[in-house]
Amino acid sequence: MLPIITEEMSSEIFTEAFQDVQAWRKNMVQYLKEENPEVNTAILEVAKHDENIDLKAVALGAYLSYRLLELATENDGITIEA
């Protein structure tokens, strides 16, 4: 079961991301390359499959979702094991 993302969590992450969207997205690319490279690769591969999709927009949405789930998991005290 996925953790619950609260309005406060969303607000926190959106504030963080939207201060400088380009810099935040680039930081998330680097963060995920180290933290979870498989997820980063999946995000980029999905975006590359359709020439009509904006790669940066897809990546931003995926990175926002990842951060929200990560924060919610931390707050729920859930440990995800491989």
The pLDDT tens digits of the residues spanning 28-58 come to 989 999 999 999 899 888 877 877 778 888 8
Model pTM above 0.75: yes
| Among candidate residues 79, 76, 66, the one with its CA nearest the CA of residue 24 | 66
Q: Give me the residue spans of the domains in the chain.
A: 7-76
**3 in Cβ contact with 69 (< 8 Å):** yes
Q: Where does the pLDDT of residue 78 fall: very low under 50, low under 70, confident under 90, or very high at 90 and above? A: low
Burial of 25 (0-12, 13-18, 19+ CB in 10 A): middle
DSSP 58-80: HHHHHHHHHHHHHHHHHHHT---
